A and B are shown apart, each in its own frame.
Chain A
């Protein structure tokens, strides 16, 4: 019965052509991330000096950059990196943010007050500024970028979850559970969380797309993932100086960033609609 519901929901994702496209493109990137090393014809840092600065051809689909590295291979191999970085960062932020949001919304009182004022102060700063400040202290590295994603997104996720909890916790079935002596953990995770999930899934997808954005931006600014990793943002940065000779080295990774971000956004939109129908029925 639950399985049926899941499939009905998934089927609804494909009803709208834009959502279907978004979902398919996202799945394609997901395959690239998983099967990256099988798909990529070259190693990420393999230099084919003879082919350097070559444009797109049947041998090098996306061309070769000024150092003689195959752009297609780097884009494909970078997918796994961006998924690992933005994906796990988002997952951790969502897990922590959800727990804090659940607790804060359900308990209320001074706990809620202090936590929310603290989050407000974090949210008052532009995300990029906060990220740069954190990276300034932690030093630029992959781990730092991961931490930045987690820290920047916890308050946002927690706020969204809390607002849903506030409306759900006064519903009669939650009160019935309290009157039946259910433990707070069960009330939070079995009674309240399911009602939060639709909103949460949409929020998580959105966060993921922004995390890709943030990670790439930091890479581009040179304070994120360090060379010679095949990070998309970093690739755009490296290709910037020689854009007149090797524009493909800039456009393909930049295009990959936008395509992935757009597809995740469309997916989030589709999820929202799929869940909405689910709630109405």
Chain B
């Protein structure tokens, strides 16, 4: 069969950024094809050059970006040779772009409908036709009440709605190629799932081609026909999705796949294997394989000679010296046998006990209201929840943004003040205020923060940062504290000479390691980890998760792990709490979370996460509507406004009971367990065939 000629054809593309008179190569000899109607996923970690590639195709490269070689052909004509005026005809009608952050891409001073109509008029529609068509488009992207949306300004819409508007804008010119740059990264999983559905449906209808840039292997596995893997500005591998996930030929692809926790993967069964080291900096590209320093299969040849882009089969492309051996199964890039991380010994003692904890953030109230003594309105972040953690155990808290999971952690550690309820640490009640807590209490409770870039004071050396908790909380002298620094660094697998470095000289993963070392320095009984890996690249993420688990086992520390990623929580935690609008929906042992019966919200959450495996079959449950306001909370069950299994008045009016299931779960729902068991089937199923959503 003759393959159709490609719609987009990139050949030997080289792009550099000119910084201070020097050319830093960002992309090196990229060759890639997108056939008509095909969706190509472009995966890579930060610094791989994937966004630069997307922008080069769109001819929207930053001012200091220069194409230093190669061609980009769109439908047979060279895109790079067109003038800006000629591009005007191509933009929107041939090529359209959806950026990562819709909030900055939409004009904040213009109604959404006008922005759409403006684009349509540019494509030649009359005023009335443009207006009618813009409403039609808003309807097509499944926005409820398209008339109201058309009259809204962007800030009046939620992130998910804004991204739908962006997609409508991109589709408005009927482009033949859509370039999407991480369009769902800023969204919550349940919103992401419905935006991905929408994309798949619209693209399928129009038979347009898609170049989808993302770091998320799950999204790629769900959406794309082909996957191209970028590493340090080079194309490592390019293959049909099934082939790539079944048998990756590049060790980097293998490493990526082994780094991502699958839904249901647990530390004590199949530990994650991160990739050691970090992406090389732009300046020091070796004339060798760029991946050699991090590759488990690197041989002498890899250090001496740059591998060529080979074609193992007519469909696949790979840039590795050793692909024939990998393909034949003679060698494997699996990193040996990683020792499974043991589970902590059975409950020793209760470390943290939270009872009826409530966190409200009062809103500034108008002066008049204060005068008439009306009680001020408040954001109800956490509403009377009770939970406990024992030593050596991990309690995972999952929820989307606005669920109150961070407020829960922050009120436990004292960074947010609780409004009522009790928090006990080792049987002693903790005051709500941080300043009222004794040093001993502080030393037993430490925290790892989300963003490693902000976790360390940039003006202090690593040693200075690490000695502070020793001096303040363990009462050591400066000299004694300094002697402990090498041990602390060794515990987080960092060389001792890092002590004299400033945070600016460390990579993101290294900063997070230092932050973890600092949190463990005072010997805490309970560690709070608030999204400890969400700001890190996947290859680094795995190493940090394993480090946390290992340190926890060594020190029998209890851990409260907050994350939005249910796979991460499922990997590390022993017990999992699912939160929604400040309340617990379900409490369950970690191993049971992926098995039915579930709380309807958990069910929706599990079916929204795109699994990084195209062979997992996933049930499709989507949530309608938006998250209700945390100021005026819905009565009855907080989830009733969006629940796919809504029963009727009882859900809207009465607080649901806690129901116990056979496998140790507790579910906060009006539906009796027996009925849930009957109605629900497992969300995820593995059967070796390419995923079709049920």
Partner of A172, one of B437, B443, B446, B455: B455
Partner of B439, one of A175, A176, A181, A194: A181
Q: Mark B506-522, 1 if CB is under 8 A from A, else 0.
A: 00000000010010001
Bound CA span A195–B457, Å: 9
Q: Mark A256-281, 1 if CB is under 8 A from B, else 0.
A: 00000000000000000000000001
Complex interface: chain A residues within 8 A of B140 (CB): none
Bound CA span A176–B473, Å: 13
A173 touches B472 (CB 8 A): no
Chain B positions 472-511 with a Cβ under 8 Å from a chain A Cβ:
472-473, 500, 502, 504
Name which residue of chain A comes closest to B415, CB basis: A175
Chain B positions 426-480 with a Cβ under 8 Å from a chain A Cβ:
434, 437, 439, 442-443, 445-447, 449-451, 454-461, 465, 468-469, 472-473
Complex interface: chain A residues within 8 A of B459 (CB): 194-195
B472 touches A176 (CB 8 A): no
Q: Mark B409-437, 1 if CB is under 8 A from A, else 0.
A: 00001110000000000000000001001
Nearest CB of chain B from residue A117's CB, rounded to whole Å: 14
A1 touches B449 (CB 8 A): no
Name which residue of chain A comes closest to B446, CB basis: A179
Name which residue of chain B comes closest to A279, CB basis: B458
Complex interface: chain A residues within 8 A of B455 (CB): 172-173, 176
Bound CA span A172–B459, Å: 14
Given A172-B455, A173-B454, A173-B457, decide whether A179 and B500 contact each other with a Cβ distance below 8 A: no
Q: Does A171 contact B (CB under 8 A)?
A: yes
B450 touches A172 (CB 8 A): yes
Chain A positions 9-37 with a Cβ under 8 Å from a chain B Cβ:
none
Complex interface: chain B residues within 8 A of A177 (CB): 457, 468
Complex interface: chain A residues within 8 A of B434 (CB): 178-179
Bound CA span A171–B460, Å: 15
Bound CA span A175–B410, Å: 10
B468 touches A179 (CB 8 A): no
Bound CA span A238–B450, Å: 64
Q: Mark A156-199, 1 if CB is under 8 A from B, else 0.
A: 00000000000000011101111111100000001100110000
Complex interface: chain B residues within 8 A of A190 (CB): 457, 460
Complex interface: chain A residues within 8 A of B458 (CB): 194-195
Bound CA span A182–B473, Å: 9
Complex interface: chain A residues within 8 A of B451 (CB): 172
Bound CA span A171–B465, Å: 15
Number of interface residues of A (CB under 8 A): 17
Partner of A179, one of B447, B454, B461: B447
Q: Which DSSP category, helix, strand, loop or mixed, fits chain A's interface?
A: helix
Bound CA span A83–B222, Å: 69
Complex interface: chain B residues within 8 A of A194 (CB): 457-459
Name which residue of chain B comes closest to A181, CB basis: B442
Nearest CB of chain B from residue A98's CB, rounded to whole Å: 16
Complex interface: chain B residues within 8 A of A182 (CB): 468, 472
B457 touches A180 (CB 8 A): no
B413 touches A179 (CB 8 A): yes
Q: Mark B379-406, 1 if CB is under 8 A from A, else 0.
A: 0000000000000000000000000000
Complex interface: chain B residues within 8 A of A195 (CB): 458-459
B468 touches A172 (CB 8 A): no
Complex interface: chain A residues within 8 A of B518 (CB): 176
Complex interface: chain A residues within 8 A of B446 (CB): 179-180
Nearest CB of chain A from residue B105's CB, rounded to whole Å: 24
Given A172-B454, A173-B454, A173-B456, decide whether A179 and B445 contact each other with a Cβ distance below 8 A: yes
Name which residue of chain A comes closest to B503, CB basis: A173
Bound CA span A172–B457, Å: 9
Name which residue of chain A comes closest to B502, CB basis: A1
Bound CA span A195–B439, Å: 27
Bound CA span A179–B445, Å: 8
Name which residue of chain B comes closest to A191, CB basis: B457
Name which residue of chain A comes closest to B519, CB basis: A176
Name which residue of chain A comes closest to B459, CB basis: A194
A175 touches B442 (CB 8 A): no
Complex interface: chain B residues within 8 A of A175 (CB): 415, 447, 449
Complex interface: chain B residues within 8 A of A176 (CB): 447, 449, 455, 515, 518
B502 touches A180 (CB 8 A): no
Bound CA span A33–B445, Å: 56
Bound CA span A177–B467, Å: 12
Residue of A172, A177, A191 ringed by the most chain B CB atoms within 10 A = A172
B473 touches A180 (CB 8 A): yes
Bound CA span A191–B458, Å: 9
Complex interface: chain B residues within 8 A of A178 (CB): 415, 434
Name which residue of chain A comes closest to B450, CB basis: A172
Bound CA span A173–B235, Å: 38
Q: Mark B164-186, 1 if CB is under 8 A from A, else 0.
A: 00000000000000000000000
B472 touches A180 (CB 8 A): yes
Given A173-B454, A194-B459, A195-B459, decide whether A180 and B445 contact each other with a Cβ distance below 8 A: no
B504 touches A179 (CB 8 A): no
Chain A positions 178-227 with a Cβ under 8 Å from a chain B Cβ:
178-182, 190-191, 194-195
Nearest CB of chain A from residue B298's CB, rounded to whole Å: 31
Complex interface: chain A residues within 8 A of B414 (CB): 179
Name which residue of chain A comes closest to B461, CB basis: A1
Name which residue of chain B comes closest to A193, CB basis: B459
A172 touches B449 (CB 8 A): yes
Nearest CB of chain B from residue A2's CB, rounded to whole Å: 9
Partner of A171, one of B454, B461, B473: B454
Complex interface: chain A residues within 8 A of B461 (CB): 1
A180 touches B469 (CB 8 A): yes
Complex interface: chain A residues within 8 A of B450 (CB): 172
Residue of B447, B456, B468, B522 ringed by the most chain A CB atoms within 10 A = B468
Complex interface: chain B residues within 8 A of A181 (CB): 437, 439, 442-443, 472-473
Complex interface: chain A residues within 8 A of B460 (CB): 190
Complex interface: chain A residues within 8 A of B465 (CB): 173
Complex interface: chain B residues within 8 A of A179 (CB): 413-415, 434, 442, 445-447
A180 touches B500 (CB 8 A): no
Complex interface: chain A residues within 8 A of B454 (CB): 171-173
Residue of B451, B457, B460, B473 ringed by the most chain A CB atoms within 10 A = B457
Partner of B468, one of A171, A180, A281: A180
Bound CA span A60–B189, Å: 80
A180 touches B442 (CB 8 A): yes
Bound CA span A176–B465, Å: 10
Name which residue of chain A comes closest to B440, CB basis: A181
Bound CA span A281–B504, Å: 7
Complex interface: chain B residues within 8 A of A281 (CB): 504
Nearest CB of chain A from residue B515's CB, rounded to whole Å: 8
Residue of A1, A171, A180 ringed by the most chain B CB atoms within 10 A = A180
Bound CA span A190–B468, Å: 12
A-B residue pairs in contact (CB < 8 Å), sample of 22? A1-B500, A1-B502, A171-B454, A172-B451, A172-B455, A173-B456, A176-B447, A176-B518, A179-B413, A179-B442, A180-B442, A180-B446, A181-B439, A181-B443, A181-B473, A182-B472, A191-B457, A194-B458, A194-B459, A195-B458, A195-B459, A281-B504
Instruction: Point out residues on B near A: beta carbons under 8 Å.
Output: 413-415, 434, 437, 439, 442-443, 445-447, 449-451, 454-461, 465, 468-469, 472-473, 500, 502, 504, 515, 518, 522
> Which 8 pairs from chain A and chain B are nearest by CB?
A172-B449, A194-B459, A172-B454, A173-B457, A172-B455, A181-B442, A171-B454, A180-B469
Instruction: Point out residues on A near B: beta carbons under 8 Å.
Output: 1, 171-173, 175-182, 190-191, 194-195, 281
Q: A178-B434, A179-B446 are in contact. List 20 more A-B contacts (CB 8 A).
A: A1-B461, A171-B454, A172-B449, A172-B450, A172-B451, A172-B515, A173-B456, A175-B415, A175-B449, A176-B518, A177-B457, A178-B415, A179-B413, A180-B469, A180-B472, A181-B443, A181-B472, A190-B460, A194-B459, A195-B459
